[in-house]
Homo-oligomer: A and B are copies of this chain.
Amino acid sequence: MALTRDDVVDAAVRLLAEVGLEGLSLRRLARELGVSAPTLYWHVADKRTLLDHVAERLLVDQWHVTPPAPGEDWADWLRERATRQYRALVTHRDAALVVAGNRPTEAAMPAVEQVLGTLVGAGFAPTQAFAAIQAVGNLVIGSALEYQAERERDTAVDASEGTAHDAARFPQHAALTAVLADRSEHGADHEALFRHGLELMIAGLRVQLGDAVAPA
């Protein structure tokens, strides 16, 4: 059976996980497929558009449009969606970089529509809902990107000097590291950090909606 574009994209995703974005070359990909490099150009216009397809593949799970359960709080629903999206990025190597450079495709439309509708249904003005989606999306990609960049840096530098800074010059840092000391290793809870930011944003959305600041 002849090669399919889906085969190419699949292999690209696998190879991306294995060697990262830097190591993902068309020649290497072709070798993986047992094919010569120019052959790929029959299936794909361009490396860039190949990466667009890869990005789409990485996010495709997110596009099962799942409306909120009846009676479910819009905030809970939104938090769940955003967290899923974050996880999808973070669990695939260099996914944030690939997705960031991506042209959005038609396929994402129903998902956006779904979120838009839910927020409007919750009482937001359409422009507010739109801005909220954008804001949450930007937070997600920024967080994922920063985490993955840091992760890659660490594996690259490996034995860098410890972060022994001058406690006198940077007292706030000193206080912080004391508090952070009893957490696990480097950037242990990147997801917790992301969720903290997400929580701030959701709280802001609640305020915007005019909800009583609920919990007491």
Contacts and interface: CB of A to CB of B under 8 A. Distances in A.
Interface of A: 97, 100-103, 109-110, 112-113, 116-117, 120, 126-127, 129-132, 134-135, 137-143, 145-146, 149, 153, 157, 165, 169-173, 175-176, 179-180, 193-194, 196-197, 199-208, 210-211, 213, 215-216
A134 to B, nearest CB: 6
Interface of A is mostly: helix
Contact of A126 (B113, B175, B205): B175
Contact of A145 (B132, B142, B210): B142
B197 A135 contact: yes
B141 A145 contact: yes
**Copies of this chain held together in the complex:** 2
Contacts of A201: 197, 200-201, 204
A88 to B, nearest CB: 15
Contacts of A210: 213
Contacts of A208: 200, 203
